[in-house]
Structures are given as structure tokens and as C-alpha cells.
Amino acid sequence: MPQKRIYLYVPFKDKEKARLLGAMWDDKEKKWFAPKKLDKNIFSQWLYPRQKKSFSFDEQEILSAFKNALENHGLIIDASPIMDGKIHRVKTITDKGREKSGAYSGFLDEYPAGFIQNFKTGIKENWKMPLELKQDITNYQALNQKKIIAPTKNKEQEILELQEKTALKIEEEYQNAHWAYSNHPYLNKKGFNENFYLKQDNRGSLLIPLKDENGKIWSVQRIFPNGDKIIGIIRTKDEKEQGIEYSAKKSGCFHIVGAKNLEYCKEFIIAEGFATAATIYKALNKPVIMGVDAGNLPKIVEVLKAKFQNTPITLIADNDKKRELQGLSNIGVETAKEIQKKFPDIKIIIPQITNKEAEKGMSDFNDIYLNKGLDEVKKQLSMPDFHKKLDTFKSDHIAYKEQDITR
């Protein structure tokens, strides 16, 4: 008795994949089948019919729910989110100029799901359509949970591969770039007359290399002459037309002002932005790590702690007091304190800023430098050490007095 053909349940979008694996088309039955000479397990994903959806969602409700989730995490979505499975970069509520510190991707097929990331706050999480917005669901438990999770895992792998490709292009650009002019408009605006060994691209933007703890360059922060900042590559017209995508890795990456690599640092002093890090370097004459923003600091501390367990760490927080006065979170201070909860041996220094100064936009040590001078920066940076010595002196003095009494 002849062996029956093993027919496959291949959706239209998978037909090319099935063909490349060796599946054949039965023109009479209008079905794909597994040739006898091949192991049927090669086609395991199409051996059984896909379970029909036992749920239904209105597309507008999906888009609205996803948009709300994105906005709740600080991303700015002007119209409806694009749920095509691709990565989309958008601005966040704390971005300035051309910065785009938000990223998301969404899927409408199977069970609606997505991925949300805010690089400024460090938020990175999966999203799926809330069940309360379902329509006519009769058997939700029958839905294969792997199908919900798989797109995100695949997307993370896709992002990593894209980041590797982007890193190679960025390293080539950086190596070929020339040294920045010491009178660069941004440097002058921040009170500096030196280039701190930075380079600049052919558009006149500063290039700040962002490396991991092993010294590998993954990305650059570009600071335009007008102060606008972006992370990564600016695509050419041809690249845009061809749909070529880049994704620059920032998480856990940093730049060191005043040293070539971490091995030159006897202690790790970490600040957020470049201007703040450069100001602290001038005040202390010690290397300072620029972490880009508050959302990136927890990851940087984590990788430094893992590789250099015994090196002391000091966090120089931004004091986002203006946001605090508006009833919003003081991201810089709150992030630093959360890190200290996890690693109690870390020291924190917060710039002392009055309400009046905060209303004028002051939030970091570069603002203090520009408004009050470098001596004030030095004074505030030395205050924690002064109080620590004072407390030690008081303790010793009390102990000495008690010793005198007991004689």
C-alpha cells in the first residue's frame, strides 16, 4: 500500500521558507507536502493546522491601548503607533533638540504584543494587549503562550545583530574623523576652551565614543553645534531610500573624560552628561565617567561592579529639581538613590540648587560652574568628604573625653 503524502499547513507568508527547506507543491490538492526522502520533522512547524484564534480585538483599540502604554513610559507618540514588527525610535518627554531616547516595536498578528524602552529612565519591558479589551474570547487558555513571547525574543536578537553591524560602521567613522576644534560652539557654550580629545564628524558635530567595560566602541553621541544630541548614525539619503536600518547600543556603555580606559582609574566617578563630566574632571583633576543619562547609570554600575569589585564608586547625580517643583519625579536624584540601595558602599553627591536656581533651569554641576564658577563646584564636591571627616573627628573627640572620665 503506497504511503500517503504528508501534507503541510503552510500559511502564505511562509511558503518561500517551506520551499527552501524542500517542501513540494501538490498542484491538484493545492497543498504543500513533505517529500518522502526528507525527514518530516524538518517541517514540524507546519505538520498540524494552526489553532484558530478564539479571540478578537478591534485594531483601533489595540493601537489606542499600546499608545497609552508608550505614553505612560514617557514616549511621545504623535499619531498612532506603528505596529509592523520593526523598531521605531521616538522622542521622550525629557528629550531636547533632536534626541530620540524612546524605542518601541509592536505586533498585530497572533496575540497583539509589543516592546517598550525609554533610554532616559532605563525602562525596558514587554507589553501585551490587556484581556479586559478582548471581544468574543471563548478559550483564551488554549492560546499558545510561546507565540506571544517569541516575537520579543526574536526582536531582541535582531536588535543585537543590528547593533553589531552599527558598531562596525561607527568605529570606522570615528577612526577616520578629525580632532574637534577647541572653539567648538558647544564646548564654548559650556565654558570650555579645550577639546578633551574629542573628534567631530563632517557636519561639525562632536563625536563622543561610547564603549563597554572591555573598551569596545558600540556607538557615539553626536552633539551638534547648537547643542542638539543624538545617539548613533545619521543615515544618508540613499540609506533611507533603501530602507537600511541601524541601531546603536547605549545600555551599559560610557565615555571617560581624562583617561584612555578604566584601568587608569583608581576610583570610578560617574556623572550623566558630557558637560557635567568635563566640569567635574576640571574641578577634581581625576578621570570622570560620562554615563549619558540617568537611565543608563544602573547598568553601568552593574557592569563595573562585576568587573572591578574593589574599586570605589561615586555617583554625581543631576538634580532635576525643576521637575520636582512641578510635581514630577526628580529622575537624577531618585535613580542615584535606587542604585545606592542596591550597592550601599556607593557614595552619592547631589548638586545643591535652590528653588530659584531650579526655576532658571539649573540642574547639574556644569550649570553651577557657568553661574557660580569652578570654586563653587570644588566646594560642593568636597563637602561630603568634609562632613565625613567632621563626623570622624567628633566620634574620636567623644571617645577621648570618655576615656578621660574613666581614668
Domains of the chain and any CATH numbers: 6-46 (no CATH), 59-143 (no CATH), 172-392 (3.40.1360.10)
- How many other CB atoms are found less than 10 A from the CB of residue 144? 12
315 class by beta-carbon count within 10 Å (0-12 exposed, 13-18 middle, 19+ buried): buried
In single-letter form, the type of residue at position 232 comes to: G
- Alpha-carbon distance of 70 to 374, in angstroms, equals 40
Q: Helices 374-405 and 274-284, interaxial angle, to 10°?
A: 60
The SS3 call for residue 370 is: helix
Nearest by Cα to 297 from 258, 243, 250: 250
Residue whose entry in the numeric block shows the C-alpha cell 503552510: 10
Report residue 101 as a C-alpha cell: 531616547
Give the CA distances from residue 273 to residues 6, 190, 277, in Å, rounded to whole numbers and listed in that order. Answer: 61, 12, 6
Instruction: Give the pLDDT score at 2.
Output: 56
Mean pLDDT rounded to a whole number for the chain: 83
Integer CA distances (angstroms), 121 to 93, 100, 160, 184, 247, in order: 11, 13, 21, 29, 19
Cβ atoms of 366 and 279 within 8 Å: the answer is yes
Most confident of 69-78, 131-140, 284-293, 379-388: 284-293
Q: Which of 60-74, 209-223, 279-293, 366-380 is predicted with the least confidence, judged by mean pLDDT?
A: 60-74
Evaluate if residue 390 carries a pLDDT over 50.
no
Please give the pLDDT value at position 211: 96
Of 48, 103, 108, 100, the C-alpha closest to 84 is 108
Average pLDDT estimate for 171-197: 94
In this prediction, residue 36 carries a pLDDT of 81
pLDDT at 145 over 50: no
Residue 57 has pLDDT above 70, yes or no: no
pLDDT in tens, 22-40: 888 888 877 888 888 777 7
Q: pTM (2 decimals)?
A: 0.66
- Residue range 72-87: mean pLDDT, rounded: 85
Cα 168 from chain centroid (whole Å): 19
More confident: 134 or 200: 200
Reply yes or no on whether the pLDDT at 52 is more than 90: no
Q: Is 310 exposed, middle or buried (0-12, 13-18, 19+ CB in 10 A)?
A: exposed
- pLDDT at 386 (0 to 100): 45
Question: 149 versus 39: which is more confidently predicted?
Answer: 39
Whether the predicted pLDDT of 275 surpasses 80: yes
